[in-house]
Structures are given as structure tokens and as C-alpha cells.
Amino acid sequence: KAGVTQTPRYLIKTRGQQVTLSCSPISGHRSVSWYQQTPGQGLQFLFEYFSETQRNKGNFPGRFSGRQFSNSRSEMNVSTLELGDSALYLCASSPHTGTGQETQYFGPGTRLLVL
Amino acid sequence: DAKTTQPPSMDCAEGRAANLPCNHSTISGNEYVYWYRQIHSQGPQYIIHGLKNNETNEMASLIITEDRKSSTLILPHATLRDTAVYYCIVRARSDTGNQFYFGTGTSLTVIP
């Protein structure tokens, strides 16, 4: 099976702009989670989507939003970009087995630089 | 919030076993222990997970103490490609959400 794919891999934006990142999960996986990784804060959970519904949300401002489509693909959007939004954005997918053992498989990430 | 404690860094000689400890003294009965690693600027890679029994796969072994308050990830024959940051995560069994709390991890350097 193909792994989690994320597009684009690199992105440069300026303050005040908005950005949309895309994630395609592993085939058959229904849960998609997003994480932000910065040198100062490490890996932080943004939100999780399952069956097109946001199931979980981390402690991030409303400028960060996401959605999931019927084919489980997901997008996240950051509006009014700030310099501090420069980070590696990681997407992870997991199957919904109902066993509680929801191993997450990560994509390569999108590196966003805000100037 | 991260519920695990790991040493910030460790060295290991190439070809030797790398033993990475993790303390999770507040772990609950329904929480699994997961290990991931992240090679610089790549996405975290799943290694192994377990609940209370020791586990082994093609990458590593996971030893969980009987009281489940700590665990050790063992890479049996470390290679230079094993140089990475290793994260130990505890995660509750839940059908209502799926989020991992990553701590600061252990930076493992394999030395030639």
C-alpha cells in the first residue's frame, strides 16, 4: 500500500496570507490527524477527523481549521498567517479498527515558511 | 500533555544493542505504550506498541515492566541509520478520539 502523502512538500508564504495543505491517507484508513512541529514546541496535535467529522481538537487558535472529504482525504487551512506558523505540518492516518489500537502512520510533512 | 519521561540523549556503538528507557509512572490500565522515531525533518515512523506483554517485531523489542510504570525499547543491533529522535507515547484506548501526545523524546546517536 502507498503511504500517507502530503502536498505540497514545501511552501513559502507571507504574513497575512492563508494556506491550504493536503493529505491523502493510506487506502482504507478513515482517521486523519494533523500535527504541527516547531523547534520550540515540538510535535503538537492540531485536530483529528473521522468520517468527515472533527473528532478531536488541540489547543490552537481558530485560524487553524480542517476538513475531511468522503474519500478520507483531508485538508487543513491556516488563515492570516503569522511568522510563528512557520513549521513542519504532519498528517497521520490510522484505521478505525474499534480495538483501541489505533496506530498512526505519518506522512513526510509539509514545511511551511512564513516571511 | 505528555505523560512520559525520557532521557534527552543517548549514544550507542554501531552493532551494539541500543536500550532506550521510558518512564510512564502514571499510566492507566487501558493505556498502550507506543514508540515512534523521527529522522531529521521526516515524518515520525512507527516502531512498536504494547499494552502489558513484551512485544517484538522486525525493528525492535519492547519490554514493559510488570507494574507497567516503565518500558524499554531495544534495537538489537544498532546501525548508523538508527540515529534519530525516539518518542515514547502512552495512549488510552478510546473510540472517541485518536491523538498522540509527543514529549521531547530521546535523541539517539549511533557511533561508528
Instruction: State how far the Cα of B35 lies from the Cα of A30, in Å rounded to an integer.
Output: 22
Q: Give yes or no for a contact between B25 and B6, defined as CB atoms under 8 angstroms apart.
A: no
One pLDDT digit (tens) per residue for chain A, 115 residues: 789 999 999 999 999 999 999 999 999 999 999 999 998 888 999 999 998 999 888 899 999 999 999 999 999 999 999 999 999 999 999 987 666 668 899 999 999 999 9
d(CA B62, CA B49): 7
R_g of chain B, CA atoms, integer Å: 13
At B63, give phi and psi (nearest 5°).
Answer: -110, 120
Long-range contacts, A45-51 (Cβ 8 Å, 24+):
A45/B99, A45/B100, A45/B101, A46/A76, A46/A89, A47/A76, A48/B97, A48/B98, A48/B99, A49/A74, A50/A96, A50/B98
Quote the cell numbers at residue A78. Answer: 491556516
∠ CA A19-A109-B3, rounded to 5° = 110
A interface test, pick of B3, B41, B100, B102 with most A CB neighbours within 10 Å? B100
What are the residue ranges in chain B where pLDDT is below 70?
1-2, 92-98
What is residue A114's predicted lDDT score, i.e. its pLDDT? 97
**pLDDT in the model for residue B1:** 53
Burial of A60 (0-12, 13-18, 19+ CB in 10 A): middle
Cβ of B69: how many Cβ atoms within 10 Å?
Answer: 13
pLDDT recorded at residue B6: 95
| The pLDDT of residue A99 | 67
CB B47 within 8 A of CB B35: yes
CB A9 within 8 A of CB A21: no
From B49, B93, B104, residue closest to A42, measured CB to CB: B104
Closest approach of chain B CAs to the CA of A10, in angstroms? 12
- For A54, the grid coordinates are 472533527
> What pLDDT was estimated at residue A82?
97
pLDDT value at residue B103: 85
Tell me the pLDDT tens digit for each residue of B50-82.
Answer: 998 899 999 999 999 999 999 999 999 999 999
Query: Which pLDDT score is estimated for B50?
Result: 93
**Interchain pair B42, A107: CB under 8 A:** no
Residue A91 CA to residue A107 CA, distance in Å, equals: 6
CB contact under 8 A, A103 and B34: yes
